[in-house]
Structure 1
Amino acid sequence: MKVGDPGYPGNLEEILRAGEIVEAGKVLLQGRSVDLAEIEFLPPVSNASKVICVGLNYADHAAEGGSKVPDYPTVFARFNSSLIGHGAPLVCPKVSEQFDYEAEMVAIIGKGGRAISEAEALSHVAGYSVFNDGSVRDYQLRTPQWTIGKNFDGTGAFGPAFVTADELEPGATGLRIQTRLNGRVLQDASTSDLVFSVARLVSLISAAMTLEPGDVIVTGTPAGVGLGHNPPIFMKEGDVCEIEIEKIGLLSNPVVKEK
């Protein structure tokens, strides 16, 4: 199935902007069944106005990198050009051999706003998804600003599922989150271990900028990233990286070397 085919349900961010998420059941009834083999998976949101990532948001991950747990979220941006969907190849850049994985949970904004209180923040979250924040470590760590190492083309895998917030515990807490590289478990944690909860992140980020429907907040990764192992474990051509979050879904991508 491709964009424009009969039965294509439409673009998620457009549905969110139109406030039509409550009609999801009707869309499912009107749609048609499709063989998964026929689908090219796109990111659940492919044209967000903002993809906001949070670093050092699990205490054990901060510790493995020799960093203190921050008093305020470490925030950086990803760009849509870096994103790929489920099943698409993660691209290890020609210029680096330090292509790392990061299992992360995504919160997708359904109702926009500015200066949102923490008490009201979760009412602005439409749902959740899975993210692999593929990181080119030698570029990321060249300067205190991480943006360049987080935005190589084809390094941010996203999806495939979008689970509405009402299907999960408030803030999507208590969910097991794992990375498996070629079947080997390398990260294994719980979303309850976030330093800054989803509600806190929405509140703090919206203090600075207006959040819009379809905006993406990537909430951080736990300990076990490749750089934290001795010796380091980086992704290479021929690998398969799987990120799985309990009750949200499995994101799987092969790894290729940039031609």
Structure 2
Amino acid sequence: MKVAVVNSRTSLIIDGHVVDVAEASGGSLSEAPSEIFSQWSGLTELAARGIDPAGHPEVDPSLFELPQPAPGQAFGIGLNYADHSAESGMELPATPLVFPKFGSSIVGAGAVLGIASETVDWEAELVVVIGVDCFDVAREDAWSVVAGLTVGQDISDRVVQFEGGANPQFGLGKSAPGFGPIGPWLVSVDEFDTDALELDISFTLNGETKQSSNTRHLIFDVPTLISYLSARVLLKAGDIIFTGTPSGVGWGRTPKEYLAPGDLLETTIQGIGTLRTVVAAR
């Protein structure tokens, strides 16, 4: 099941068409994005009916919005691929390296990324979307609290991120407006083999591949991250987790590469889709 917000209305994406859930359910489901997680089981039942998408409008990428209500909490996980740790010159963490991505940075597919710095970098990431309020979740139960997965880009201003020297400002460097695009839709967990989540993940900049890996290389997998976080904070429905990026970021290259106005960022994850972001001067 693919759930999106199109024209500010909750929709299902079926075979390249947009199905408005309020209309398709005869009004039993709300069109309001704020109700996505409270009516998740209803969305699942609607999708299972086998709706014929004929007659429904075709997907128009320009109409996609943030595919969920704005998250109350957005967590970033640093250095969660060994090859990225190596290119960063940092040791592998013994426990998940967690930082906040403040809510004002989270935007949907197609949002313009405004930058005012010459040191803004890309990071392609799998994003986990929590579906229910939960605390102290056992690792073996972790997938039961996940609504779905989506594509994310953890945009980072490297100067701001490291301006603290030995005390880097990860959260501040990664939370400017537009620095957390996700989308274009949420894909429900039942679409994946969660016993062995092995999804290809890639990133292209203006059509040139910069990152290419697979989620099987995550150091701390999704259940571990959920168990770790929920043992420390209350996770709420709609909270999101950026699970980390593989090697190939601009900061790790020689010479270093950064984003510039006019750039097109495309992050693709197998089984989910492609998130596109355009860069502009702020």
Q: Give TM-score, length-normalised by structure 2.
A: 0.84
Write the distance in 2 (CA, Å) between the matches of 1:52 and 1:11: 25
Identity %: 36
Q: How does 1:221-236 map to 2 (within 5 A)?
A: 221-236=245-260
For 1:81, the aligned partner's letter is S
Q: Of Structure 1 and Structure 2, which has the larger fraction of its residues in strand?
A: 2
Write the distance in 2 (CA, Å) between the matches of 1:200 and 1:13: 28
Write the distance in 1 (CA, Å) between the matches of 2:126 and 2:241: 9
Write the distance in 1 (CA, Å) between the matches of 2:150 and 2:256: 27
1:16: how far off?
A: 1.3
1:76: how far off?
A: 1.1
For 2:20, the aligned partner's letter is G
Q: Answer yes or no: is 1:40 the counterpart of 2:63.
A: yes
Write the distance in 2 (CA, Å) between the matches of 1:89 and 1:25: 31
1:229: how far off?
A: 0.7
CA contact (8 A) 2:9 2:33 kept: no
2:3 matched residue in structure 1: none
Q: How does 1:8-157 map to 2 (within 5 A)?
A: 10-12=31-33, 14-20=35-41, 21-25=43-47, 29=51, 33-37=56-60, 39-92=62-115, 94=116, 96-143=117-164, 144-157=168-181
User: How many residues are aligned here?
Assistant: 256
**Deviations 1:134-154, CA, capped at 9 Å, x for gaps:** 111110111223111111112
CA contact (8 A) 1:140 1:149 kept: yes
For residues 112 and 181 of structure 1, do their structure 2 counterparts lie closer, same or farther at Cα, with a shift above 3 Å needed? same
CA contact (8 A) 2:124 2:211 kept: yes
Q: Answer yes or no: is 1:244 the counterpart of 2:268.
A: yes
**Deviations 1:6-52, CA, capped at 9 Å, x for gaps:** 93653555221345343341698498722433852212224112111
1:88: how far off?
A: 1.9
1:85: how far off?
A: 1.7
Write the distance in 2 (CA, Å) between the matches of 1:227 and 1:178: 17
Which is further off, 22-31 or 185-194? Answer: 22-31
Write the distance in 2 (CA, Å) between the matches of 1:38 and 1:134: 21
**Which blocks of at least 5 consecutive residues in structure 1 are unaligned?**
none
Matching residue within 183, 186, 190 for 2:207 = 183
CA contact (8 A) 1:116 1:206 kept: yes
Write the distance in 2 (CA, Å) between the matches of 1:192 and 1:237: 33
1:241: how far off?
A: 0.6
**Which blocks of at least 5 consecutive residues in structure 2 are unaligned?**
1-5, 11-18, 23-30
1:159 counterpart SS class: strand
Q: Which stretches of structure 1, 4 residues or longer, exceed 6 Å deviation after superposition?
A: none
For 2:194, the aligned partner's letter is P
Q: Which has the higher contact order (CA 8 A, sep 6+)?
A: 1
Which is further off, 47-56 or 9-18? Answer: 9-18
2:223 counterpart SS class: helix
CA contact (8 A) 2:7 2:65 kept: no
Write the distance in 2 (CA, Å) between the matches of 1:72 and 1:29: 44
1:254: how far off?
A: 1.2
For residues 39 and 255 of structure 1, do their structure 2 counterparts lie closer, same or farther at Cα, with a shift above 3 Å needed? closer
Task: Report the aligned-residue RMSD.
Answer: 2.3
For residues 11 and 177 of structure 1, do their structure 2 counterparts lie closer, same or farther at Cα, with a shift above 3 Å needed? farther
Q: Answer yes or no: is 1:211 the counterpart of 2:235.
A: yes
